[in-house]
Amino acid sequence: MSRNRDAASTGESPAGPILRFDGVGMRYGRAAEVLRDVNFDLAPGSFHFLTGPSGAGKSSLLKLIYLAERPSRGTIEMFGRDVEAVALADRPFLRRRIGVVFQEFRLLDHLTAFDNVALPLRIEGGKPESYRADVAELLAWVGLKNRMHALPPTLSGGEKQRLAIARAVVNRPDILLADEPTGNVDDAHALRILKLFVELNRLGTTVLIASHDEDLVARSGQPVLHLDKGRLRAFGRNVRQEPGA
């Protein structure tokens, strides 16, 4: 899969972190904070796993990154910009630079595999003739060349996961987030999915994967951000560890 992007097309400065959390807290309503004093940086082109027990706040942290939720305090900077200072009209453009692979896939069962992947491009106003070859190439890259006309209910769990990955990266995002992407597949498929993420990372995408799969994390050799009771313990390169951690 080719990737032809430059600094001018993304608007990203080549210097500094692509993502920064500074003293971030988050709560739902009046409940206790699910994230507390979270601090970390992600460098452009880095690859990290996000780990921690159920209820540690992994999904909440991902929601903050893909702008589905807002922090109750602290600062989130993305692509060198304070997210809270971004006008509402500009937020959709910011979101397009973030790809998300959801745990529950969120595929549209009435659309073929091809049309599921092409949907983000259609929403942006793209014409079929402008993206047909790219979508077909992407489906071949994730191993679904012979399933592009299949409907999601006829696909296996591993095929659905790879389809969700293809849809998440069809816009060539700068950041790719994945929430438990190997939770519904066997070990062989989990390793295949990991290889797809590694290849994307080699093409320049910053990757952050939330996972319970300790064996997969260990095999990957990638640095880890570990959440425990809403607080972040960061291990590895390209991270700024929480003070006192």
Q: Tokens 């489906």, residue?
A: 139
How many Å apart are CA 6 and CA 16, to the nearest integer? 16
Per-residue CA distances from 219 to 81, 125, 223, 227 (Å): 34, 41, 11, 20
Q: 189, exposed or middle or buried, with CB in 10 Å at 0-12, 13-18, 19+?
A: middle
pLDDT of 162? 92
Please report, in tens digits, the pLDDT of each residue of the chain (245 residues total). Answer: 544 443 333 444 446 899 999 999 999 999 999 999 999 999 999 999 999 988 899 999 999 999 999 999 999 999 999 999 999 899 888 999 999 999 889 999 999 999 999 999 998 888 888 999 999 999 999 999 999 999 999 999 889 999 999 999 999 999 999 999 888 778 888 888 899 899 999 999 999 999 988 888 988 889 999 999 999 986 665 455 454 44
Enter the tokens of residue 208.
Answer: 């952050």
pTM comes to 0.86
Domain-by-domain residue ranges, the chain?
107-172
**128-135 LR contacts (CB < 8 Å, sep 24+):** 131/170, 134/170, 135/170
